[in-house]
């Protein structure tokens, strides 16, 4: 598993960087079934953009969601993972 830091840091021992994956705050296990399903559906829609770089405009055309919504979802995913 690769850990990505929320804040760029050039001194690795600074203690100010928090890993993007934090089992205490980013876990979907505390979400209701409906919220967990919604998070997974957002990821499924964004997956081509996130993994292979399909433009959001193409994802928007295929999914029926607006580009603005997809940008917001992608930003939330980058910030907080599936829990975003």
Domain ranges of the chain: 28-83
pLDDT in the model for residue 31: 79
Q: Who contacts 81 (Cβ-Cβ below 8 Å, separation ≥6)? A: 20, 21, 26
pLDDT tens track, the chain, 84 positions: 344 444 444 444 555 555 555 554 556 677 788 888 898 999 999 999 999 999 999 999 999 999 999 999 999 888 888 877
Q: How far is the C-alpha of 45 from the C-alpha of 6, rounded, in Å?
A: 23
pLDDT in the model for residue 84: 73
Give first-to-last CA distance, the chain, whole Å.
19
- pTM given for the model: 0.65
Q: Within 10 Å of residue 16's Cβ, how many Cβ atoms?
A: 9
């Amino acid at each position: 598993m690769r850990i990505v830091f929320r804040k760029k840091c050039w001194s690795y021992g600074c203690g100010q960087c928090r890993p993007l994956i934090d089992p205490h705050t980013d876990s979907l296990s505390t979400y209701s079934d409906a919220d967990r399903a919604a998070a997974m559906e957002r990821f499924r829609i964004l997956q081509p953009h996130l993994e292979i770089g399909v433009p959001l405009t193409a994802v928007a055309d295929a999914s029926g969601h607006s580009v603005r919504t997809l940008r917001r979802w992608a930003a939330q995913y980058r910030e907080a993972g599936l829990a975003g």
